[in-house]
Amino acid sequence: MTIGPVSHEAREYLRSQAVEQPFWDRDVEALREQMRRECAAGAGEKEHVSAVETIDAAGVACRLYRPSKTAADVFVWVHGGGWMLGDLECFDSVCRTIANRVPCAVLSVDYRLAPEHVFPAAIDDVWAALVWAAEHFSAVAIGGDSAGGNLAAAAALRARDEGIALAHQLLIYPVLDPAVDSLFARAFRARYRTFRADNDLPMPESDFGAESQEGVRRVWERYIPEPSQRRLAYASPMNAPSLSGVAPATIITAEHDILRGDGEAYADRLRSEGVAAEVLDFAGQLHGFFHLLGAFSAARDAVDASAGRLARAFAAVSPAAAR
């Protein structure tokens, strides 16, 4: 399999970042502060929305964005960060942009983070926020990136199980399966051994494939320390006994991302069980590009594509969303 080049924007962005040791060798508070700085630097100009409110959604801190006072539908946003990093401010820009592009309200969930709060704390918080959203809006969709994509997919499964209809699920390079030694992961490791050096990226001596695989393993360990729990459906949606009846999905993947395999496999399984699922792969991109609207034109394209899918999904289920 031929590996395409990293996009010019991705290469320049990575070159601008300080070279760091792997995250598992660093303090979690230092990592959180680094993510805040990187998100702020890459967010671009923040769009104006009609209102931004701090919400207590059944005991869970959230931020609600409204593009207008009459917004009747809501997109529940679940941020990424390996279940350990990220907060409302990190993803403020992308939430504003989605709210305006759809348009719909956006409820951003400030769920509890590992390692202080392990499974099921995060999914419990996301579920509580989703139930609150369903009680206050005409139609609800859910989505998130990376670990947030995991939590969004798990919440979509629970919504099916508990009878809450969702218009759509938007999963952005989601982590869905704790089987880090899958066939895709092994092939990724073999193909990407010299990827950094080949693309003149920072840390050229490092094994990008092996580091990516180890990173996935480490975040699962911090999120769910008990191995037997990692295969529960609301922990790893890929292992749910059935996906039939869950909300239709748009899955965004990045070409040079070990989690691309999770997204593709999940889409295949959704389709095999009668659920509409579309995969949008972004060539030349690495994991984490979606919310960096000021750094990547691909991020702006991905957000526009996501907003278009959400708008169509809301229009299909909610008269209030007709545009």
List per-residue pLDDT tens for the chain, 323 residues long.
578 899 999 999 888 887 788 888 899 999 999 999 999 999 999 999 999 999 999 999 999 999 999 999 999 999 999 999 999 999 999 999 999 999 999 999 999 999 999 999 999 999 999 999 999 999 999 999 999 999 999 999 999 999 999 999 999 999 999 987 888 888 999 999 999 889 988 888 889 999 999 999 999 999 999 999 999 999 999 999 999 999 999 999 999 999 999 999 999 999 999 999 999 999 999 999 999 999 999 999 999 999 999 999 999 997 654 44
CA–CA gap between residue 168 and residue 208 (Å, rounded): 33
Instruction: Classify domain 8-318 by CATH architecture.
Output: 3-Layer(aba) Sandwich (3.40)
Measured between alpha carbons, how far is residue 234 from residues 177, 191, 231, 261 in Å? Answer: 11, 31, 8, 19
Q: How far is CA 257 from CA 269, 294, 299, in A?
A: 20, 21, 15
Helix pair 297-317, 92-101: axis angle to 10 deg:
50
In what helix (H) or strand (E) does residue 115 lie, and over which residues does it extend? none
Give the three-class secondary structure for 182: coil
Per annotation, catalytic residue among 177, 257, 262, 291 = 257
Cα of first residue to Cα of last residue in the chain, in angstroms, is 43
Q: What is the pLDDT of residue 1?
A: 55
Q: 139-145 and 105-109: which strand pairing?
A: unpaired
Is residue 318 among the annotated active site residues? no
DSSP classification of residue 19? P
Catalytic, 287? Answer yes
Q: What was the pLDDT predicted at 277?
A: 98
Please identify which of the residues 146, 212, 236, 306 carries the catalytic annotation. 146
304 is catalytic: no
Give the Cα separation of 179 and 220 in Å (integer). Answer: 10
Q: What is the pLDDT of residue 14?
A: 84
- Point out the catalytic residue in the list 79, 168, 287, 291: 287
For residues 63-78, b (16+ Cβ closer than 10 Å) or e, as one string? Answer: bbbbbeeebbbbbbbb
| 122 within 8 A of 113, measured Cβ to Cβ | yes
Sheet holding 169-172, edge to edge: 51-57, 60-66, 105-109, 73-78, 139-145, 169-172, 249-256, 277-286
Q: What is the pLDDT at residue 182?
A: 83
pLDDT at 9: 93
Q: How far apart are CA 78 and CA 126, in angstroms?
A: 7
pLDDT at 74: 98
CA distances from 236 to 158, 169, 182 (A): 12, 16, 14
